[in-house]
Structure 1
């Protein structure tokens, strides 16, 4: 495959050490379905979500790494409507929200799903009428339009990084469709002035793929914890990548969904080379404050 250099990088902004995730708001817990259901019920009210985000901000955690779930649009509306209350809030959109598309295809079929999510434009209309764009499977054209549609909810907000979700990243890795990473990176940079980020469950393989298509010094978020929980290839491969490979690392699942005590997990993670940020989720003020204190203590 010919290496194609990506669009020149946008100005790099150093990430905060702690990023706040959104799994707890939408009933995602990798160890306990019961806890996931409980959290989903608790956060049905948007004011319950905002109270936790406000608690994170009280601890100096201003970056919200979130999916493009429909309810995130409500959060965006609140932040836009209250600029003095959220003057420095940063969003890191993660896309696509796979369940949203799966449900749409089930309800409306493939073409109906495209109509639902794509902007209403002449290009889209032509594609959906079966003209050359769709017949030729113009993946790049459709993909970039979908990116634009997903980012619409964040209009007017600070979005310095846009992430490709692991469910898509790892699917593309498996299919060998590596040019999709370059398409995503180029479009996020050129159209939205943001840095592209990639979330994966296979860090070493993704770094090889991004190097192949010319995405240099990428932002990559992956599970990184001392137990090897959901780390394809094992802990040693990840540690080797952190030591030797040129990329900006963000760690998720450092607690291995609660299997590692918080202090032990944070102390280990903060000692890793080349780690720029940790993303975590929590549903209580006390847990947020505890994590923030541990990171301040161990991240020298």
Structure 2
């Protein structure tokens, strides 16, 4: 399995996400309503030496990816770590349109004629054979179109989807997802979860290897289930040739100092950290503090 980037720049700050402060979240949302401010922060991150980006497939991701495609001569070496699908997008659409019109909107509207024909072929099979795996392929294809032409290294399933499927213990979905994106898109499968110990145990039980697992990992134990201690045990015993581990939320939404935060993750058997910041000073200071073992 190809090694992932040690430091990846996240996107929560661009979309008004702060798990501990609603005021801070609203401040960020207002600032980054002007997309020029987003690109300015990206340039600051790249100036500080970051060469990898995580981006979830919300509505603004299309505009962001369009910009990077249009300026590929400047940004062509970037590695991309997209996460799909964006659950709120689908939930809002189902609430507004109903389930079947929403499926039609997602799968067919806005695609080229050839793309529609190809998807309709898959769609017909999904309908007539009740093949849920084909429907999953269609949704992956729709989401991946956002990142076409970019250097995608890992494609993550977001934690609401990962943990839902994990809760039902559906081995076949995990297997098929990994096989499909490896073969069609030549990228590494990734899973974002709020329960790294349980997900890793199930993947090992099912014989699913060569994947990236991303989870909240921080000194405060924020969003680490069932416990920080269990995370530490599993991380210490991990074989990175089979499962590469990426820490998200290392700063626990600002509840602990950057030095404490990165001293903690630096001491773990981790292969990567994804973090977000909105100023060049904070990006550089975080970079200076990060020194992963692996």
Q: What is residue 162 of structure 2 aligned with on the other side?
A: 169
Matched residue count: 285
| Residue 185 (structure 1) aligns with | 178
The DSSP-based 3-state class of the residue aligned with 2:281 is helix
Matched, 1:278 2:273: yes
Q: How does 1:27-38 map to 2 (within 5 A)?
A: 27-38=16-27
Q: Identify the residue that residue 153 of structure 1 maps to in structure 2.
A: 146
Q: Unaligned 5+ residue runs, structure 2?
A: 109-114
CA shift in 2, pair 1:101/1:253, >3 Å: same
Residue by residue, what CA displacement relative to the aligned partner does 1:98-141 show, whole Å, maximum 9, x if unpaired? Answer: 1111111112211112112225535654776xx66326532100
Residues 1:188 and 1:29: Cα distance change in structure 2 (over 3 Å): same
CA distance 1:290–1:189, change in 2 (3 Å) = same
Q: RMSD of the alignment, in Å?
A: 1.8
Contact conserved, 2:78 with 2:151, CA < 8 A, in 1? yes
1:289 maps to 284
SS at match of 1:145: helix
For residue 198 of structure 1, what is the aligned residue in structure 2?
191
Say if 1:254 and 1:265, in contact at 8 Å, map to a contact too: yes
Contact 2:9 2:52 in 1 (8 A): yes
- The alpha carbon displacement at 1:60 in A equals 0.9
State the distance in 2 between where 1:254 and 1:132 align: 43
Which residues of structure 1 form unaligned runs of 5+?
1-11
- Measure how far apart 1:227 and its partner are: 1.9
Q: Which shifted more, 43-52 or 177-186?
A: 177-186
1:70 is displaced (CA, Å) by: 1.8
CA contact (8 A) 2:268 2:293 kept: no
Q: 1:59 to 1:157 in 2, by over 3 A?
A: same
Deviations 1:17-57 (A, max 9, x none): 21011111111111011111111111111111000011100
Correspondence 1:112 to 2:72 = no
Q: Which has the higher helix share?
A: 2
Q: 8 Å contact 1:65–1:91 — kept in the other structure? A: yes
**C-alpha contact (below 8 Å) 1:63/1:91 kept by paired residues:** yes
Q: 1:138 is matched with which residue: 113, 131, 134? A: 131
Aligned residue among 39, 49, 66 for 1:50: 39
Structure 1 length-normalised TM: 0.90
User: d(CA) in 2 for partners of 1:54 and 1:28?
Assistant: 21
Q: Residues 259-274 of structure 1 correspond to what in structure 2 (within 5 A)?
A: 259-273=255-269
Instruction: Give 3-state SS (helix, strand or coil) of 2:74's partner.
Output: coil
SS state at 1:118 partner: helix
CA distance in structure 2 between the partners assigned to 1:179 and 1:206 by the alignment: 14
Q: Is the Cα contact below 8 Å between 2:8 and 2:275 reproduced in 1?
A: yes
Using structure 2 for the length normalisation, give the TM-score: 0.91
Matched residue, 1:39: 28
